[in-house]
């Protein structure tokens, strides 16, 4: 495997994804906690960072102990750190070195740059520049503005690049990463979804033996794939619980239950809408609503799980981005929303946790799901928040409001599917706003509810842009909603990007 040392760059996870696209397994570790370099570690990549090596307390490592152990690739800050610690000189850049540049010099005889073309586009994003490289290093690529775009050690397996090969704007970045990972580090490219499934199912068999496992299904990709992996390992000893919190999409509960049954899973559906509505009565603050929904979920789930004899394990669909220890070099990061609605579950239930997806990124979970023959309808679903429509009804929640929003959402989502737009959108939904507006229907003035439609494109939900859906489509959906859903007389379309807005409205 490859170890990526994270110095806090926004692009660190992208490096990991690119390496994995080469079917090579890699892990991200904070620079301050370097794991032992045993035989399984074939190479190290040092990430970028928002910091400067000229800062007094810049993130630092004992480089001397690593050089010569395995091949090392420094990217951006990683390259500057290697240069700085080996006797090179780093100065603030005089010109902006941000954005696209083209290589004006490339030594394609160097192993790292094999098959990289002169003029190849690279993506720069740094405010320091490497003025002189250490002795015993040589420059292997330059751009018109940045002479030291790539350099390597003449005596040790150390390569450094100032630009970011992991972003798609570096047109041959993948070739560079392949050269490093496959040719220099000699990693075999055998980390495929099929192999992952075989290895994980066999590990799960060893880990779980004859134990009973309980798992909460949500209808989403992660919990479904996690359930199928565990199901392949232990069959009927896996007990799935699918709770209807009354905040799901229209018909979702029965539709999803049906598809799970088709997959051979042992699933119990629990209709608990009443309990959720009761706990939500009168609550208007988004965080209070999230907490109430999380609390009731745990209560219901716990009560159901207790009915199963001898349960030892709680299965969860936790994925890699949730467990990567984040490096915060600019002070502690703030919790923006309490997303992990059911974080308290394992402690309360006193169960051991089994998380077969905790090394995978979302797109990898889908690929594993395909390898397990899970229905595309489940694998291709848009993300849907745990608290469901509860955070799409702004203000307090009532059964009547849920019903209105379910109808609106149904028209919108079905419309996207009918027009072949569903897969072009990363996530879509409707918000019921806590205001009423004036309208006319026939000869009468109305004073009714307003709904907002939201459709975004995104890669991971961290940033997002609104989708430029065709006007004709929006017009048709708006007409259908106002004509068919009683109580709604106005539809608006959300054209904010994230940041500064968020995807959800609460
Ligand atoms: P925001 O609104 O923060 O949403 O831009 C980013 C992604 O997270 C989802 N989301 C949630 N998921 N519990 C969840 O499980 C929550 O409380 C929650 N809030 C937002 C949102 O749907 C989007 O995919």
391 alpha carbon – ligand 1 mean position (Å):
9
Q: What is the pLDDT of residue 330?
A: 61
For the segment 203-258, what is each residue's pLDDT rounded down to a tens digit? 999 999 999 999 999 999 999 999 999 999 999 999 999 999 999 999 999 999 99
Q: What is the pLDDT of residue 480?
A: 98
Helix (H, G, I), strand (E, B), or coil: what is residue 434?
strand
Distance CA 277, CA 402 (A): 10
Report whether residue 503 contacts ligand 1, using a CB cutoff of 6 Å.
Answer: yes
Q: What is the pLDDT of residue 441?
A: 84
Q: What is the pLDDT of residue 326?
A: 75
Give CA torsion, residues 102, 170, 163, 3, to 10 deg: -150
- Among 26, 76, 185, 187, the one annotated catalytic: 76
229 with 197: CB under 8 angstroms? yes
Arithmetic mean of pLDDT, 476-494? 97
Residue 412 CA to its chain's centroid (Å) = 25
Indicate which atom in ligand 1 lies nearest the CA of residue 505: 2
For residue 28, give every residue at least 6 positions away whose Cβ sits within 8 Å of its Cβ, in sequence order, or none. 4, 6, 12, 13, 16, 324
Three-state helix/strand/coil letters over 149-196: CEEEECCCCEEEECCCCCCCCCCCHHHHHHHHHHHHCCCCCCCCHHHH
Helix (H, G, I), strand (E, B), or coil: what is residue 73?
strand
Range of lowest pLDDT (46-55, 66-75, 182-191, 335-344):
335-344
Report whether residue 460 contacts ligand 1, using a CB cutoff of 6 Å.
Answer: no
Whether 187 is catalytic: no
The domains found in the chain, sorted by start residue, are 2-184 (3.40.50.880), 193-379 (3.40.50.620), 398-493 (3.30.300.10)
Q: How many CA atoms lie within 13 A of 301 on its CB side?
A: 27
Is 32 annotated for ligand binding?
A: no
Structure tokens at 351: 């169960």
User: Which residue has the least CA distance to atom 4 on ligand 1?
Assistant: 503
Distance CA 395, CA 434 (A): 6
Distance CA 498, CA 500 (A): 5
Report whether residue 498 contacts ligand 1, using a CB cutoff of 6 Å.
Answer: yes
Query: With b meaning 16 or more CB within 10 Å and e meaning fewer, what string describes 4-34?
Result: bbbbbbebbbbbbbbbbebbbbbebbbbeee
Indicate which atom in ligand 1 lies nearest the CA of residue 290: 17
Report whether residue 294 contacts ligand 1, using a CB cutoff of 6 Å.
Answer: no
Distance CA 238, CA 208 (A): 10
Distance CA 31, CA 43 (A): 15
Residue with tokens 């030594």: 107
Pairing label, strands 26-30, 72-75: unpaired
340 alpha carbon – ligand 1 mean position (Å):
9
For the segment 434-453, what is each residue's pLDDT rounded down to a tens digit? 999 999 988 889 999 999 99
Whether 26 is catalytic: no
User: Which residue has the least CA distance to atom 20 on ligand 1?
Assistant: 385
Q: How many CA atoms lie within 13 A of 166 on its CB side?
A: 24
- Among 84, 126, 152, 164, the one annotated catalytic: 164
**pLDDT of residue 334 exceeding 60:** no
Chain mean pLDDT for the chain: 93
Report whether residue 390 contacts ligand 1, using a CB cutoff of 6 Å.
Answer: no
**pLDDT of residue 180 exceeding 90:** yes
Arithmetic mean of pLDDT, 112-138? 93
Whether 164 is catalytic: yes
Arithmetic mean of pLDDT, 446-461? 94
User: Which residue has the least CA distance to atom 6 on ligand 1?
Assistant: 461
Q: How many CA atoms lie within 13 A of 42 on its CB side?
A: 16
**pLDDT of residue 161 exceeding 80:** yes
Q: ipTM beyond 0.90?
A: yes
212 with 311: CB under 8 angstroms? yes
Indicate which atom in ligand 1 lies nearest the CA of residue 386: 15
Q: What is the pLDDT of residue 333?
A: 45
For residue 285, give every residue at least 6 positions away whose Cβ sits within 8 Å of its Cβ, in sequence order, or none. none
Is 220 annotated for ligand binding?
A: yes
Structure tokens at 453: 């439609």
Indicate which atom in ligand 1 lies nearest the CA of residue 383: 24
388 alpha carbon – ligand 1 mean position (Å):
9
């Amino acid at each position: 495997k490859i170890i990526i040392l994270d110095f806090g760059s926004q692009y660190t996870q992208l490096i990991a994804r690119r390496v994995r696209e080469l079917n090579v397994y890699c892990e991200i570790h904070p620079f301050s906690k370097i794991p032992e370099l045993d035989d399984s570690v074939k190479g190290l990549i040092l990430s970028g960072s928002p910091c400067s090596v000229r800062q007094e307390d810049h993130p630092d490592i004992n480089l001397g102990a690593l050089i010569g152990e395995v091949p090392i690739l420094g990217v951006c800050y990683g390259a500057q750190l290697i240069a700085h610690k080996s006797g090179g000189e780093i100065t603030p850049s005089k010109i902006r070195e941000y954005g696209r540049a083209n290589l004006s010099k490339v030594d394609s005889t160097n192993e790292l740059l094999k098959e990289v073309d002169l003029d190849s586009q690279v993506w720069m994003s740094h405010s320091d520049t490497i003025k002189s490289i250490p002795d015993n290093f040589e420059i292997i690529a330059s751009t018109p503005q940045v002479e030291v775009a790539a350099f390597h050690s003449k005596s040790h397996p150390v390569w450094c690049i100032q630009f970011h090969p992991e972003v798609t704007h570096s047109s041959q970045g993948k070739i560079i990463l392949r050269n490093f990972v496959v040719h220099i580090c000699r990693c075999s490219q055998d980390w495929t979804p099929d192999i992952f499934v075989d290895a994980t199912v066999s590990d799960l068999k060893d880990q779980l033996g004859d134990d009973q496992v309980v798992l909460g299904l949500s209808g989403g990709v992660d919990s479904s794939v996690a359930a199928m992996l565990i199901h392949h390992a232990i069959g009927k000893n896996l007990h799935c619980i699918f709770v209807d919190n009354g905040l799901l999409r229209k018909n979702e509960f029965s539709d999803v239950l049906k598809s799970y049954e088709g997959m051979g899973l042992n699933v119990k559906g629990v209709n608990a809408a009443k309990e959720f509505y009761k706990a939500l009565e009168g609550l208007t603050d988004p965080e209070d609503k999230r907490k109430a929904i999380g609390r009731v979920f745990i209560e219901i789930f716990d009560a159901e799980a207790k009915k199963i004899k001898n349960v030892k394990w709680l299965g969860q669909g936790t994925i890699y981005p949730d467990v990567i220890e984040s490096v915060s070099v600019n002070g502690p990061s703030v919790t923006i929303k309490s997303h992990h609605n059911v974080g308290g579950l394992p402690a309360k239930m006193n169960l051991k946790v089994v998380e077969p997806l905790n090394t995978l990124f979302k797109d990898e979970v889908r690929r594993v799901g395909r390898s397990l023959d899970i229905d595309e309808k489940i694998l291709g679903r848009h993300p849907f928040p745990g608290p469901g429509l509860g955070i799409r009804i702004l203000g307090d929640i009532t059964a009547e409001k849920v019903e209105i929003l379910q109808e609106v959402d149904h028209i919108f989502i079905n419309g996207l599917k009918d027009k072949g737009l569903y897969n072009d959108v990363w996530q879509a939904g409707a918000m019921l706003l806590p205001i009423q507006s004036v309208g006319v229907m026939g000869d009468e003035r109305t004073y009714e509810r307003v709904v907002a439609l939201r459709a975004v494109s995104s890669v991971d939900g961290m940033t997002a842009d609104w989708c430029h859906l065709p006007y004709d489509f929006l017009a048709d959906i708006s007409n259908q909603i106002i004509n068919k859903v009683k109580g709604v007389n106005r539809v608006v379309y959300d054209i904010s990007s994230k940041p500064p807005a968020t995807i959800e409205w609460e």
